[in-house]
Amino acid sequence: MADIMTSLATRVEAVRRFSRFYTKQLGLLSEGLLESSLSLTEARVLFELAAADGRSPTDIAHDLELDAGYVSRVVAGLEGDGLVGRRRSDEDRRRVILRLTPAGRRTFERLNSGSKAQIEALLGRTDVPGQERTVQAMRTIERELGDRSGEPVVTYRSHGPGDMGWIVERHAVLYRASHGWDDTFEAMVAGIVRDFLETFDPAFERSWIAEVDGRRAGAIALVRRSKTVGQLRLLFVESWARGLGIGARLVSECVGQARHVGYRRMILFTVAGLDSARRLYEAEGFRLTEEKAGHAWGKDHLAQTWELELCPLEP
């Protein structure tokens, strides 16, 4: 028992030490947040009002887990500074609705920009792999210490050690169960993953791993096919994680990154009958450009090519 208590005391001190470190890094102990005259709580109220309209002081107190009387005093101070206004709800005249004034909106924009710049500078102290490890550690803290009674927490990150092997395994298992595809399909996916890892160019390629409450739930990859063409590959979502918008988000992120790095066109290869994936492609603007009957993975298929123009080609 003494050893357990000592171990717990050590863990408690580690958490307290990290709390002191992080509050210092973000300047949370300063008189004003981000060189403003606002306290952390006042700034957080502005952030809450900027994020969603139609909120009452009671809503904010509930979401921030603060005393309602304290929030009322904070809101009154922000009103006095001309940053927040109020009105009666049209549906329930007893309910007070808060809103940011134009001055409040400008203040929020300055704080928001300052916060982003501060975090960018903080992350800039380490390289990209170090940044990914830091973010993953934060996700772990959020998952382990957060409220587990609410909606699932969906997060996205780049691949790390073991993720690509997992992608091969899940493709093999899922498509064997749903379509009866044989071992040659697993071999094909393994080849795609091998080539991706051996020639990976982070300037033009990227992967995304979706996690639900810290559990891997889906993936996608953007692969460089040529200087002007990016290829969408390896998309899948676990059956238990469907209905959370993960597939749509993965395809959207992939297309957005392709535009960001300057590809003019995207291409993907699939087979007819994968209707859930087809709807995701169509929603992003992909169009079917070619179909060809064939045999692979122990089954007959109608192979399909889908393409998406990202910008007009030069004349």
Q: Is residue 225 part of a domain?
A: yes
169-175: long-range contacts, CB 8 A cutoff, minimum separation 24: 170/236, 170/238, 171/234, 171/236, 174/236, 174/238, 174/239, 175/297
Based on the fold, state whether residues 160 and 302 are members of the same structural domain: yes
Domain harbouring 227, CATH code: 3.40.630.30
pLDDT at 55: 82
Do the Cβ atoms of 305 and 299 come closer than 8 Å? no
Closest to 171 measured CA to CA, from 185, 159, 156, 157: 185
Q: Is residue 260 part of a domain?
A: yes
Q: Is residue 191 part of a domain?
A: yes
Residue 53, helix vs strand vs coil: coil
pLDDT at 1: 43
Based on the fold, state whether residues 114 and 247 are members of the same structural domain: no
Based on the fold, state whether residues 209 and 270 are members of the same structural domain: yes
Number of domains in the chain: 2
Predicted TM-score (pTM) above 0.75: no
Do the Cβ atoms of 224 and 201 come closer than 8 Å? yes
Query: Given 128, 145, 162, which residue is the final one in a domain?
Result: 145
Based on the fold, state whether residues 187 and 274 are members of the same structural domain: yes
Based on the fold, state whether residues 172 and 255 are members of the same structural domain: yes
Based on the fold, state whether residues 94 and 202 are members of the same structural domain: no
Residue 215, helix vs strand vs coil: strand
Q: Is residue 208 part of a domain?
A: yes
Based on the fold, state whether residues 228 and 129 are members of the same structural domain: no
Residue 267 CA to residue 233 CA, distance in Å, equals: 9
Domain harbouring 123, CATH code: 1.10.10.10
Query: Given 81, 110, 145, which residue is the final one in a domain?
Result: 145
**Surface-to-core class of residue 254, CB atoms within 10 Å of its CB (0-12 exposed, 13-18 middle, 19+ buried):** buried
Strands of the sheet containing 206-212, edge to edge, are 154-157, 206-212, 215-224, 229-237, 265-271, 299-309, 287-296
Based on the fold, state whether residues 189 and 229 are members of the same structural domain: yes
Average pLDDT, 10 consecutive residues per value, the chain (315 residues): 63 90 83 83 89 82 90 93 88 84 91 90 88 83 74 88 96 94 97 97 95 92 97 95 92 94 96 93 96 95 96 49
Burial pattern 31-56, b for ≥16 Cβ within 10 A else e, equals eebbebebbbebbbbbebbbeeeebb
Q: What is the pLDDT of residues 80-135, one digit of tens each?
A: 999 999 988 777 778 888 989 999 999 999 998 898 888 999 999 998 888 888 88
pLDDT at 53: 65
Based on the fold, state whether residues 173 and 241 are members of the same structural domain: yes
Based on the fold, state whether residues 135 and 158 are members of the same structural domain: no
pLDDT at 313: 42
Domain that holds residue 16: 2-145
Q: Is residue 314 part of a domain?
A: no
